[in-house]
Structure formats: structure tokens, C-alpha cells
Structure 1
Amino acid sequence: MHLKPQPGRVVTDPATGQPLPEKGARVEPSQYWFRRLQDGDVTEVKPQQQKPRTSAK
């Protein structure tokens, strides 16, 4: 799952001990993250996918 903190919030990733980056990060689903979602501390987002490159012919 890909989560990002709500604006103005600092949410620590228990796996790394570091704050979750503002742009978000991929984390393993766990009770910790489900509680953060339920409390409104983080938002689940779809990671931006790179568009496939088309070759010029």
C-alpha cells in the first residue's frame, strides 16, 4: 500500500524509524497503518506510474 501523511502531520514508519516522506511511501499493510488510516493521520494514494515511452519512427 502507498501512504502519505496528512498535511502538517509527521507519521513515523515503525519499520524504518523515520518519518514518512511528504510525497508518501510504499509500506507493508499492518494494524499500525490501518489505525493511522482510520485516525486520519495518513491517506492511501495510488503511486504515480510512469507513462510508457513510445519510440519515434
Structure 2
Amino acid sequence: MTEFFIKPISGVTVRDPETLEPLSESGEKKPQNGYWLRRLNDGDIEVVEQQKKKKGAE
């Protein structure tokens, strides 16, 4: 299944339907399924580029 890196829009709490935990404000990788695509369509989340760690950085 295809995944994408998403984060909630500022001031919005979006819960994962499986864990019931809020989506991290810094973003998380989630499957592109109906639930997350509806949240995107509703404007509750945004797709972001996943920040890559620099080589050698801790």
C-alpha cells in the first residue's frame, strides 16, 4: 500500500482510527487509505516532505 507523510493543520487534532492516538504535530508516515484521504480532502491534514536526517547528525 502506498504511504505518505502527513501532519495535522495547526490547531486541529486528528486521531489515528486504529490507535486512537493523535497524529503527531511534526508529522507521521501513514497509508494512503480512504480515512486519511478524507482528512486531506476536508483540510484537516497536509502532505509534507519528510525531513531526511543529515549523514553523521545525531
Under a length normalisation based on structure 1, what TM-score does the superposition of the two structures give?
0.84
**1:24 is the counterpart of 2:43:** no
Residues 23-57 of structure 1, C-alpha deviations (whole Å, 9 max, x = no match) = 0111111100000001100000111012334xxxx
- What letter is aligned with 2:37? F
- What letter is aligned with 1:4? K
- Where 1:27 maps in the other structure, the secondary structure is strand
Higher strand share: 2
Unaligned runs of 5+ in 2: none
Could you tell me which of 2, 11, 25 is aligned with 2:14?
11
- Aligned equivalents of 1:15 and 1:48: distance in 2? 25
Q: Which runs of 4+ in 1 moved over 2 A?
A: none
- Where 2:31 maps in the other structure, the secondary structure is coil
Unaligned runs of 5+ in 1: none
- Aligned equivalents of 1:52 and 1:4: distance in 2? 24
